[in-house]
Amino acid sequence: MTASINDVARAAGVSASTVSRALRGRPGVSDEVRDQIKAVAAQLGYTASRSASSLASGRTFTIGVLVPYVGRWFFGTVLDAAEQVFSAAGYDVLLYNLGSPETRKRFFTRLPVRKRVDAVLTLLIPEEEESAALRSLGVPLATTVGGARPGFTVVGIDDRAGTENAVRHLVNLGHRRIGMISGSSGPLHWTTPIDRRNAYLDVLADAGIAHDPALEADGDYTVEGGERAMTELLAVSRPPTAVFAQSDEMAMGALRALRRHRLRVPEDVSVIGFDDHELADVVGLTTVAQPVADQGAEAARLLLRQLDELGAEPPGQVRMPIRLVLRETTAPPSPRGPQ
Amino acid sequence: MTASINDVARAAGVSASTVSRALRGRPGVSDEVRDQIKAVAAQLGYTASRSASSLASGRTFTIGVLVPYVGRWFFGTVLDAAEQVFSAAGYDVLLYNLGSPETRKRFFTRLPVRKRVDAVLTLLIPEEEESAALRSLGVPLATTVGGARPGFTVVGIDDRAGTENAVRHLVNLGHRRIGMISGSSGPLHWTTPIDRRNAYLDVLADAGIAHDPALEADGDYTVEGGERAMTELLAVSRPPTAVFAQSDEMAMGALRALRRHRLRVPEDVSVIGFDDHELADVVGLTTVAQPVADQGAEAARLLLRQLDELGAEPPGQVRMPIRLVLRETTAPPSPRGPQ
DNA sequence: CTGTTAGCGCATTCAT
DNA sequence: ATGAATGCGCTAACAG
């Protein structure tokens, strides 16, 4: 039914080897014959079977991409950009959505990407054994999340610097009671929340502000979590006049909580986020912008480079720039404080 | 380096066929031997090469998913849900991000999924020739977007009913000048904007409201487009007191435009969206909710069913329920009108 | 229940 | 520049 290389060979009056060479642009075929073969192949609608060619050559021209939640803006955006780079280079993308613990566990025990991909880009932070499993694949590895890890090319941002920008902005506005909504859960090796927390503590210390543990709440990196966390922060005896959320989604949850409590932003409470979510602008959220799509594209490019120059050293760690985006959710504290 | 079926066979003291049968749970192997083989395979870290097995069996256990923009909430959410269903059934997902015209064209001319997938789920609306190209693959086809199309299982919602809900809500609140922000561009076969527009016109007619073409603007299904469209609507001589946006993202753009024009929502202008975006709640957007993830999951299930019962008829069209979600961006028109 | 024999469709030597 | 042979790792049909 669907044409094979032999059909093309027969129709063109040449051997299968010549067809293979001609279609893949390899040398050793006269231009005349090559054009002939191309014409015949096009007419027959021939495409080489990926299964057969990767079985024969050992290369799959496929990249595995591991994602915790495709539906979340951050991951979707990274994936989108990475896919474009891969497909432009002739690679297909195999997507693994590993949000639930069961799916994730199954993936790492069965490792379905084995012998299926030429490289892996992971947007989730592998635990130690998971990293080892990925390394055992023997293919180039990259990630856009988490800190440096042996065997991985990591494209990221300076979380400390980003956080310092955010918290200092609040300090400079005159805030002294500055809360933080973090995403503390997650794998142990996820250094992001830790780095951001440390930077937060440092800025407070620098400003001579005593740290109050009651001003920290966990928002689980979701809108709902951010809302819960903000609600908690409002319940403490002296609520914060400003809040730094470790992600825009949590910041938006915080905005919702504040609205429900009939508090005005930024008059009663200032809020600053992290990411520059596509909708941050819609709600006027002040935030630390990171180049999300660029990180995905860059990670993809670095992976492709390793595939091209097979002996090449993995590039290690790459930092992308961040910047503070001032909008309308931050202002000096009101003289009377919240409420 | 990596173990092959023969390594397992040798280590277990059986033939390769027995290993193949044992590991795939096929009958004709004693429990004793099967357990033995499983143990050996696990110990050797053996996984069957997908290339080899699909070459031999003709099945790829892979589904191709075509997406216009992975980064957009709607598509990301559908993809997320569909992937979970596929992977739970043991299928891998090959992702094709076909947002740009060049990528899209290249995809449909080269058809890289040929011989690579057992089925295709498309989240973009194929043009007529594109549909034909997909049908030529000879595999089950499904989509969650657009109207009925021969050869495709389509899982969707009742766009007309959803729109009627939205516009009637505005009419019932007392609005007479009701604008619409649509997404008119896109492929000819995309009936969604057309269905929604027709429903909008019908409700107006039913309510005895004359249709004013100046009250329609194109928002391109993006936040920015929605903002531009709203700005246009505000510039007409008698601006609308209420606006129906064909997507939440355009509605959010409209909210931003209104904020920039210092108009209050809903006091000055009411806004209603469509989708129930995950952040619609954050901005208090009244909208028509559609079960986005469910549509992806259902389409995936229907595809798998066709794969199981090979002779089975494609299910045709499936409608999922919609419902109006009342929040805070709609209210009766102010007596004095906008401004 | 198990082993043997053939391919699946291509890429890659090695000849010529 | 081209063709013939070989094998990638597996599944399926056929024996026994």
Q: How far is CA B38 from the centre of its chain?
A: 39
**Cβ of B16 less than 7 A from strand D:** yes
- Decide if A45 touches B, using CB distance below 8 A: yes
Closest-CA distance of chain A to residue B269, Å? 17
How many separate helices (H) and strands (E) can be counted in chain A?
12, 12
Higher pLDDT, A147 or B102: B102
Domains of chain B: total: 3
DSSP H or E stretch at residue B104: helix B101-110
Residues A195 and A269 occupy one common structural domain = yes
Q: Does residue B251 belong to any structural domain of this protein? A: yes
Closest-CA distance of chain B to residue A190, Å? 23
Q: How far is CA B179 from CA B199, B240, B254, B268, B270, in A?
A: 13, 6, 11, 14, 10
What is the domain range of residue B281? 159-291
Residues A174 and A280 occupy one common structural domain = yes
Residues B76 and B108 occupy one common structural domain = yes
Sort strands A152-157 and A317-320 into parallel, antiparallel or unpaired.
Answer: parallel
Q: Which CATH number fits the domain that encloses residue A180?
A: 3.40.50.2300
Q: Does residue A179 belong to any structural domain of this protein? A: yes
- The model's pLDDT over A69-124, given as tens digits with 9 standing for 90+, comes to 998 899 999 999 999 999 999 899 999 999 889 999 989 988 888 889 999 999 99
Residues B282 and B166 occupy one common structural domain = yes
- Decide if A118 touches B, using CB distance below 8 A: no
Q: Does residue B332 belong to any structural domain of this protein? A: no
Residues B176 and B131 occupy one common structural domain = no
Here the tokens at position A286 are 């002040």
Residues B180 and B146 occupy one common structural domain = no
Q: Does residue B339 belong to any structural domain of this protein? A: no
CB contact under 8 A, B87 and A110: no
Residues A104 and A52 occupy one common structural domain = no
Q: Which CATH number fits the domain that encloses residue B49?
A: 1.10.260.40
Residues A173 and A287 occupy one common structural domain = yes
Residues B152 and B203 occupy one common structural domain = no
Q: Does residue A339 belong to any structural domain of this protein? A: no
Each residue's pLDDT expressed in tens, for chain B with a length of 339 residues: 588 999 999 999 999 999 999 999 888 888 888 999 999 999 898 989 999 999 999 899 999 999 999 988 999 999 999 999 999 998 999 999 998 899 999 899 888 888 899 999 999 988 889 999 999 888 999 999 888 889 999 999 999 999 999 999 999 999 999 999 998 766 656 788 889 999 999 999 999 999 999 999 999 989 999 999 999 999 999 999 999 999 999 999 999 999 999 999 999 999 999 999 989 988 899 999 999 999 999 999 999 999 887 666 777 889 999 999 999 999 999 876 544
Residues B195 and B228 occupy one common structural domain = yes
Query: What confidence score (pLDDT) does residue A339 get?
Result: 46
Residues A149 and A214 occupy one common structural domain = no
Residues A149 and A164 occupy one common structural domain = no
Angle at A86 between CA A84 and CA A88, to 5 degrees: 65
pTM: 0.90
Q: Does residue A331 belong to any structural domain of this protein? A: no
Q: DSSP of A199-240, one letter per residue? A: HHHHHHHHTTPPP-GGGEEE-TTSHHHHHHHHHHHHHSSS--
Nearest to A70 among B47, B55, B83 (CB): B83
Q: Does residue A333 belong to any structural domain of this protein? A: no
Range 286-315 of B in CB contact (< 8 A) with A: 293
Choose among A186, A101, A99: nearest CA to B81: A99
Q: How far is CA A301 from the centre of its chain?
A: 14
**Residues pairing with A287 in the sheet:** A273, A325
Q: Does residue B78 belong to any structural domain of this protein? A: yes
CB contact under 8 A, A94 and B95: yes
Residues sharing a CB contact under 8 Å with residue A254, sequence separation 6 or more, in sequence order: A181, A219, A226, A227, A229, A230, A243, A245, A271
